[in-house]
Amino acid sequence: MKLISWNVNGLRACDGKGFRDIFRQLDADFFCLQETKMQAAQLDIAFDGYQSYWNYADKPGYSGTAIFSRHQPLSVSYGLGIDEHDHEGRAITLEMPDFYLVTTYVPNAQDGLRRLDYRMRWDADLRAYLQRLDQQKPVVLCGDLNVAHEEIDLKNPKTNRRNAGFTDEERQQFSELLAAGFVDTYRALHPDTIEYSWWSYRFRAREKNAGWRIDYFVASERLLPRIASASIHTAILGSDHCPVELVLE
């Protein structure tokens, strides 16, 4: 079973850069999107054999998530069930027979860390939400988590120490998520590999591979025996992020 996650940084823009061909090429069972930046009916997009589920932000052209699934879920829910968090279209949960699939676009702490306090509340509430799900059946979380966990996960850790996505606070929250019974699937399989999933559009960052690994598949620890592979599709263009992949047996 193949799962793909991709922050498309505007699905309508990405659609003009070959998204549909890439979707078909990757041939996933579940294809999760973040930062769709859409409202309902702004793009006519569907794929044979897939159902799609969308969570739109109240604010037009902002945030948003989606999942295309070949498999019929038992149930679908949107958001975290907390009003403070549920107006920006940041999460979708599919309940499958033997696991939960959650895709999320985690809030950015932003320039000057002006949204860091909110980000801390989000991280804590997301962790609690995942733990509740995990008590019922294993969880697969994917998406743009907007944090590079360790120094190996970004090109320039020293100069980014207090920048959004690499603050001590955000990294600690990710460590607490892992300590709560979850695993970073890519790092579990590739402990020393340096690959990135996001590059700034500035300073020819992608050309220089000056990137960050901020897109993840995080899974309940008890799913580890089922993980066949975890990879990052660094050669795929169309967004400032590239798709990440998880294959479960």
The catalytic residues are 105, 144
Q: Residue with structure tokens 């019929």?
A: 72
Measured distance CA(107)–CA(103) in Å, rounded: 13
Measured distance CA(204)–CA(158) in Å, rounded: 20
Tell me how many degrees the CA angle 141-10-3 measures, rounded to the nearest 5.
Answer: 30
Measured distance CA(10)–CA(202) in Å, rounded: 18
